[in-house]
């Protein structure tokens, strides 16, 4: 019996605290395959920045949950997204970014327009039918400078998935359109993607494990909020932290399934990026960092060093949790109802997607 079927068959049992997902879900290849089909192939996910598409007639290769994607901005200035997979023999068509009128597969030179249509298949027989051999389309949408892609071309509009997140970010003092991209940081964690995100969704561990973080944010006045596909934490700046005339509150959002949106107290800043599974016990992710155009470079350097330190502390915690939960020695855990309420919201979403 699979872990999913086994959990359904057991039903509820009495406990003083909500139970977690079965810990077999953090190691079971069958669960990983179901998540790929039911979640990552059907969800809106962050793909990159609009500015990467520099002008009409440009493209940018990207990855969405590990899937190869190419974004295009055609001569009519229409934004599109496609599977970055040649319809001939499956090679990756585009790499990097550029400005050109077509995309040509490096394997056999099959050539596609920026509208995805197949334009040329060299040495094909006379009368070769190109119908239905264009690049496979995906749904695409934008929020400010951010581009999102959904592998399901018939997905609901991005606005429905985002819900009130753009309004909340704006109402709490951050204009995402006024920020300037700084750099992308990529990482890999030896843990299931769900464990990595569950760590993100609580600050129960912060005072014990993040002394630097709790000198910036006041974890004792943390406010948590869950709504639809959004799970948010709002942290006032610590009374002893100088916000330098900037934002007096941090906000940290998870947009299901995996998008993290982070705003720290202080001068205008934002980091945004996804996490995705590469194996049942391993995940990857990246964060795109944005700052105000007039942010001082020495302040940015200090900010990034601080963020790297918190990230290293969290990675050690998450990998330790994977070693225990993934061992198979214990069936499940318990959640602290208040401090881990966002984890409960996230796990309810996962149960619904895999039901």
Cis peptide before 257 (omega within 30 of 0): yes
Q: Are residues 193 and 149 in the same domain?
A: no
Q: Are residues 111 and 75 in the same domain?
A: yes
Of 110, 127, 154, at which residue does a domain stop? 154
Q: How confident is the model at residue 347 (pLDDT cuts 50, 70, 90)?
A: very high
Q: Are residues 127 and 185 in the same domain?
A: no
Q: How confident is the model at residue 196 (pLDDT cuts 50, 70, 90)?
A: very high
Q: Are residues 194 and 145 in the same domain?
A: no
Q: Are residues 109 and 149 in the same domain?
A: yes
Cα separation values, 314 from 189, 201, 209, 349, Å = 10, 12, 8, 23
Of 132, 154, 176, at which residue does a domain stop? 154
pTM for the whole structure: 0.93
Of 122, 154, 186, at which residue does a domain stop? 154
With respect to residue 70, please indicate whether it lies within any of the assigned structural domains.
yes
Percent of the chain with pLDDT over 90: 94
CATH of the domain at 208: 3.90.380.10
The residues, ordered by sequence, that sit 6+ positions from 124 with a Cβ below 8 Å of its Cβ are: none
Q: What is the pLDDT of residue 128?
A: 93
CA 95 to mean position of chain CA atoms = 21
With respect to residue 33, please indicate whether it lies within any of the assigned structural domains.
no
With respect to residue 8, please indicate whether it lies within any of the assigned structural domains.
no
Number of domains comprising the chain: 2
Q: What is the pLDDT of residue 56?
A: 95
With respect to residue 2, please indicate whether it lies within any of the assigned structural domains.
no
Q: Are residues 132 and 165 in the same domain?
A: no
DSSP state at residue 38: I
With respect to residue 320, please indicate whether it lies within any of the assigned structural domains.
yes
Q: Which is it for the CA torsion 198, 202, 204, 205, positive or negative?
A: positive
Q: What is the pLDDT of residue 322?
A: 98
Q: pLDDT for 238-251, tens place per residue?
A: 999 999 889 999 99
Q: What is the pLDDT of residue 1?
A: 36
Q: What is the pLDDT of residue 9?
A: 37
Q: What is the pLDDT of residue 16?
A: 63
Q: What is the pLDDT of residue 17?
A: 81
Q: Are residues 56 and 195 in the same domain?
A: no
Q: Are residues 98 and 182 in the same domain?
A: no
Q: How confident is the model at residue 180 (pLDDT cuts 50, 70, 90)?
A: very high
Q: Which pair of structure tokens corresponds to residue 212? A: 């630097």
CA gap 325, 336 in Å, rounded: 17
CATH of the domain at 123: 2.102.10.10
Half-sphere exposure of 328 (CA within 13 A, CB side): 4
Q: pLDDT for 104-156, tens place per residue?
A: 999 999 999 999 999 999 999 998 999 999 999 999 999 999 999 999 999 99
Nearest to 197 by CA among 135, 240, 259, 155: 259
Q: Are residues 200 and 115 in the same domain?
A: no
Q: What is the pLDDT of residue 189?
A: 98
Q: Are residues 164 and 99 in the same domain?
A: no
Average pLDDT rounded to a whole number, residues 1-30: 67
With respect to residue 39, please indicate whether it lies within any of the assigned structural domains.
no
Q: Are residues 229 and 304 in the same domain?
A: yes
Cβ(96)–Cβ(59) under 8 Å?
no
Q: What is the pLDDT of residue 7?
A: 41
Average pLDDT rounded to a whole number, residues 55-61: 97
Percent of the chain with pLDDT over 70: 95
Q: Are residues 141 and 187 in the same domain?
A: no
With respect to residue 256, please indicate whether it lies within any of the assigned structural domains.
yes
Q: Which pair of structure tokens corresponds to residue 128? A: 């070769």
Q: Write out the residue range of the structural domain in which residue 122 sits.
A: 45-154
Q: pLDDT for 277-293, tens place per residue?
A: 999 999 999 999 999 99
CA gap 177, 143 in Å, rounded: 9
Sequence length of the chain is: 355
Q: What is the mean pLDDT of the chain?
A: 94
């Amino acid at each position: 019996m699979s872990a999913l079927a086994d959990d359904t068959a057991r039903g509820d049992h009495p406990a003083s605290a909500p139970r977690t997902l079965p810990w077999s879900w953090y190691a079971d290849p069958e669960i990983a395959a179901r998540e790929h089909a039911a979640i990552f192939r059907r969800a809106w996910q962050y793909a990159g920045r609009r500015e990467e598409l520099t002008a009409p007639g440009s493209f940018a290769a990207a990855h969405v949950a590990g899937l190869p994607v190419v974004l295009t901005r055609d001569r009519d200035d229409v934004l599109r997204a496609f599977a970055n997979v040649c319809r001939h023999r499956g090679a990756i068509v585009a790499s990097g970014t550029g400005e050109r009128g077509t995309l040509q597969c490096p394997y056999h030179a099959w050539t596609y327009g920026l509208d995805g249509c197949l334009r040329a298949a060299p040495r094909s027989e006379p009368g070769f039918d190109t119908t239905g051999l264009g690049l496979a389309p995906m749904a695409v949408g934008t929020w400010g400078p951010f581009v999102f892609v959904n592998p399901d071309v018939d997905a609901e509009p991005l606005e429905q998935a985002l819900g009130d997140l753009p309004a909340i970010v704006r109402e709490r003092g951050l204009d995402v359109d006024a920020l300037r991209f700084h750099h992308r940081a990529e990482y890999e964690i030896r843990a299931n993607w769900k464990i990595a995100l569950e760590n993100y969704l609580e600050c129960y561990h912060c005072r014990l494990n993040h002394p630097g973080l709790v000198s910036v944010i006041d974890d004792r006045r943390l406010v948590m909020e869950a709504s639809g596909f959004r799970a948010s934490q709002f942290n006032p700046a610590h009374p002893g932290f100088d916000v330098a005339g900037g934002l007096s509150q941090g906000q940290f959002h998870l947009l299901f399934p995996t998008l993290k949106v982070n705003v720290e107290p202080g001068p205008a800043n934002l980091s945004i990026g996804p996490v995705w599974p590469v194996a049942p016990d391993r995940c990857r992710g990246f964060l795109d960092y944005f700052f105000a155009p007039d942010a001082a470079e020495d302040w940015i350097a200090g900010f990034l060093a601080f963020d790297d330190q918190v990230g290293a502390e969290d990675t050690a915690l998450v990998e330790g949790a994977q070693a225990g939960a993934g061992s198979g020695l214990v069936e499940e855990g318990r959640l602290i109802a208040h401090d881990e309420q966002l984890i409960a919201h996230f796990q309810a979403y996962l149960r619904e997607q895999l039901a």
